Structure 1
């Protein structure tokens, strides 16, 4: 993907290359029009000549040949020791006669540089499951939280001031418990998470029974997040 300050996007590269190759514009004139250097304009024109519109995308900066890269046989031994014995780069390097930095680079490339990435029992990499399309699986949870009175509660202001705020809030809302004592009530946070997109939606209700179905809440979440 092009960076934010790139002079040419893939679409602009294609326009520049077509001006040079298809319309016969001089490279210098096309470079001046798109405000890029002459070698830049020539590079995209050459790619268009060789590969067509498909060549206008970004290419990986990885070299084609890496003669000094760790052999695959050694990589397999590093991965095996990591999974079986949970050794770190220093311990693996001592057993295999390698530098710890080399072992660490291999573990990072294989996404095994953190033990939290491995299953504790099998030693296999943890794989994130995901359903195929939005709405296929919804995760629903309800969290019960006590309301805080207007102005703050007793844990922050002390019992005397907290009781005053509690009484004033209960008088405003009219809530009383079974013993007719001031009661500010409890909030229930209903949360729905779509398994595919990981879009989350939450609503606060007075009880644990939500009047809206999880599917309805999922639709609202998708609309809210575009």
Structure 2
């Protein structure tokens, strides 16, 4: 590839070389004619004598020898540490006494994938998948969040002030020391594998009856969006191993799939959604009470489904893959 400031293209080099070699032009005359230095004219003429027209093509600027290049033994050590311990360039460099930039170049030279693309448990590249149609697979999971005391918690005011706010919050239950039990909110979420359309509710627990009732409402949400649910994927939580959950799905003609034990990556789409939910809603701003945070959930979900661009969807929102979704254009 000829660089932007090159005076000669391969065709121009060939014409210059033929003028010198075949037509007998002097180097200075040919250089003036093609507006290059005489040394440049000599280089292309000499190459034409040796290689002919094929010698006019660009060559790599890489040197033939690199005496300062990292030895093969050290390169193999770098790759071995990466494969066995799955460390980044900075940590490998600290362990082997090298520069992080050197380690990074070696890893790129050997084609080592980024750690973000590897399974931390096995070190193998992650197999990413996406079902072809909405409803082919729905991911379901629960995330537990601590309730916010009246006046705000320790994330906003620090431990001392947050502790005082917790003491003032009126709750029905207290522990053995008389301290109020603020309790938890359980985020039950169902997200479509193909479109990433999400439905979330905050419920008081994660028992089997609660989970089954949530799924009934979630299925109605997807049905209203024109999505027919065929399969549901959950982890191995007790509520998802219950007869109540099994009977609820069976009655709706839905196949239940469970992840392998200790493999949350299998249900990664809903796990990643919960992380987004925490970053952009649960801890996005200083809420003064739990009621205020819960009131902000529905508007955020609408924004996520209808307006927020999703990287896995080419920057489009989930609603772009569900044409029948009510309120898509609001």
Partner of 1:46: 46
2:90 pairs with 1:90: yes
Aligned residue for 1:5?
A: 5
Matched residues in 2 for 1:78 and 1:52: separation?
A: 44
Work out whether residues 81 and 87 of structure 1, in 8 Å CA contact, stay in contact via their aligned partners in 2: yes
Partner of 1:216: none
Secondary structure (helix, strand or coil) at the match of 1:58 reads coil
Give secondary structure in 2 for the equivalent of 1:69. coil
Deviation (angstroms), 1:15: 1.1
Question: Normalising by structure 2, what TM-score?
Answer: 0.36
Q: CA offsets per residue over residues 169-217 of structure 1, 9 Å max, x none?
A: xxxxxxxxxxxxxxxxxxxxxxxxxxxxxxxxxxxxxx99xxxxxxxxx
Give the superposition deviation at 1:2: 0.1
Name the residue aligned to 2:36: 36
- How many angstroms apart in 1 are the aligned matches of 2:126 and 2:50? 42
SS at match of 2:51: helix
Alignment deviations for residues 134-173 of structure 1 (CA, whole Å, 9 cap, x no partner) = xxxxxx98999xxxxxxxxxxxxxxxxxxxxxxxxxxxxx
Say which SS state the counterpart of residue 33 (structure 1) adopts. helix
Task: Give the drift of 1:44.
Answer: 0.6
| Cα contact 1:104–1:113 (8 A) shared by 2 | no
1:88–1:10 Cα change, 3 Å: same
Using the size of structure 1 for normalisation, the TM-score is 0.51
Q: CA deviation at 1:8?
A: 0.5
Decide whether the 8 Å contact of 1:16 with 1:41 is kept in 2: yes
Q: For the structure 1 residues 30 and 80, does the alpha-carbon distance in structure 2 shift closer, same or farther, using more than 3 Å as the test?
A: same
The alpha-carbon distance between structure 1 residues 68 and 4, as it changes in their structure 2 partners (threshold 3 A), is closer
Show CA shifts across 1:61-81 (max 9, x none). Answer: 111111111111211121121
Residue 177 of structure 1 is matched in structure 2 by none
- Alignment of 1:112 onto 2:124: no
Match of 2:78 in 1: 78
Long gaps (5+) in structure 2: 135-193, 196-322, 325-330
**Conserved? CA contact 2:86–2:120, under 8 Å:** no
Aligned to 1:25: 25
CA gap 1:123/1:23 in 2 versus in 1, 3 angstroms: farther
Alpha-carbon distance, 1:110 to partner: 2.7
Q: How does 1:194-209 map to 2 (within 5 A)?
A: none
1:115 Cα offset (Å): 1.9
Q: Give the root-mean-square deviation of aligned CA atoms.
A: 3.1
Give the Cα separation in 1 of the matches to 2:85 and 2:32. 61
User: Which residue is 2:293 aligned to?
Assistant: none
Q: Distance in 2 between matches of 1:126 and 1:62?
A: 34
Distance 1:44 1:141 in 2: 59
* Local SS of the residue matching 2:19: helix
Flag structure 1 segments of 5+ consecutive residues without an equivalent.
Answer: 128-139, 145-206, 209-226
4+ residue runs over 6 A deviation: 140-144
